Amino acid sequence: MRPSFLPHFASFRLWVLLKANFTSFFTGWAFVVIVFVGTVAKGDPSALEDKPEWVQSIGTVLQPMLSALAGNHQDDKPIVLGMKIMCWGMALLILISAIMPSLFVKERYYKKEAKAQKKDPFFKSIKESVTCKPLWSLISVSFFLVMGYTAIGSLGTYVAIYYVCDGDMIQSGTIAGLKGSILAISGIALLPFFTWLGEKYDKRFAVITMLLTCIFGHLLNYFLMDPENPYLMIISGFFESTAIGAVWLFVPSMKADVADWDEIYTHRGREGSINAFYSWFIKTSLVLSMGISGVVLKISGFDAKLEHQPQPVIDTMFHIYLFVPSIIWTIALLSVWFYPLTRERCADIRKELEERRGYI
């Protein structure tokens, strides 16, 4: 039955195509991510996923330039055509890069351990994941970290346009592009430092430090989101974005430690199950965040029909943007505070596993 809000066949066809597109994309993405994240190195408990971050950061550098390649005209036709052309190129790159790991990357302990392991009943695996206490700390910190920056993503765009740039979308877009490029380059430059930080100090301490930096950087917007000096907001973005990126550098390595802890009690390697269970909550956070983003925009009083928003509405938008993510990230900070796997505990777990099954 056609939804009542779609008045004619063309709109209904577009609705069906969009639903099919998003469903197939996110389903495929979920399968790839669960397997990919499960390939974290297990030999060294302090190992970090710095190499994937290098490649990802290169893509982040290029991202702000894509709009210029697609076309930056006011009329929507040139940019639509440009996006259609670029999407085919991006799809080809994704296809090639996604197939390569399956051809050239093999589990180094597959023949010794994974191949001989029996399949787990689904509900038994769920129960074991639910009772994996250290996993809940990582789920919680990731859940609220994602919610914090996703829930106010669209609101941040409107704040930049109407609060900082006085409704000038071109200026706001220019600053956003410059900001994205600077943050991506700085993210690449800081990767060796973050890797050193994770090797020198406990990963729990590193994540706490990065979350504090993230909250500090976001609250700097109170002073740096200045209509007189709009480019100053790049500074607060530097602290915020690099800290968030660093957290995502540490969390996968911490999940490998959780998988070791889980194996002590279950006597099985369950990296895939743990990552799948973890991913459920990340996707839940994304879905909830999308709903929250619409709610906070509505609460602020924003009216898309107006070319210029009333000053009280702009002020409300700014304060919601400033304080909502800071509160949410504080919950993430409390979550990682109670993470029980210290570096010493992880080393003991690794030693016990190697004594039980041998080094793999």
Exposure string over 3-41, b if 16+ CB within 10 A, otherwise e: eeeeeeeeeeeeeeeeeeeeeeeeeeeeeeebebbbbbe
For position 144, what pLDDT does the model report? 93
Residue 160 DSSP code = I
Q: What is the pTM of this model?
A: 0.75
pLDDT in tens, the chain (360 residues): 445 544 455 567 777 777 777 677 767 766 666 566 555 444 444 444 555 555 665 665 566 556 555 555 445 555 566 667 777 877 787 788 777 777 776 665 555 555 556 677 777 888 888 889 999 999 999 999 989 888 888 888 888 888 888 878 778 878 887 887 787 777 778 878 888 887 888 888 989 999 999 999 999 999 999 889 989 988 888 888 878 877 888 888 888 899 889 988 888 878 878 888 998 898 888 888 888 888 888 888 887 777 777 888 888 999 999 999 999 999 999 999 999 988 888 888 888 888 776 555
Query: Following CA atoms 321, 324, 326, 327 in sequence, which dihedral angle do they give, to the nearest 10 degrees?
Result: 170
For position 43, what pLDDT does the model report? 43
Burial class (CB in 10 A: 0-12, 13-18, 19+), 80: exposed
Q: Which residues contact 204 (CB under 8 A, 6 or more apart)?
A: 254, 336, 339, 341, 342
Whose tokens are 């195509």? That residue is 17
For position 75, what pLDDT does the model report? 52
- The pair phi, psi for residue 265, each rounded to 5°, is -95, -30
- C-alpha 259/C-alpha 272 separation (Å) is 9
- C-alpha 253/C-alpha 276 separation (Å) is 16
Total number of residues shown for the chain:
360
- C-alpha 253/C-alpha 350 separation (Å) is 14
Residue ranges of domains in the chain, CATH in brackets: 64-102 (no CATH), 128-354 (1.20.1250.20)
- C-alpha 208/C-alpha 226 separation (Å) is 29
- C-alpha 150/C-alpha 108 separation (Å) is 36
196 and 209 Cβ atoms separated by less than 8 Å: no
For position 242, what pLDDT does the model report? 79
- C-alpha 77/C-alpha 81 separation (Å) is 6
Residue 229 DSSP code = B
Structure tokens at 351: 């030693």
Whose tokens are 């029996």? That residue is 118
- The pair phi, psi for residue 168, each rounded to 5°, is -85, 100
For position 42, what pLDDT does the model report? 46
Q: End-to-end distance of the chain based on CA atoms, in angstroms? A: 56
263 and 117 Cβ atoms separated by less than 8 Å: no
Structure tokens at 174: 């220019």
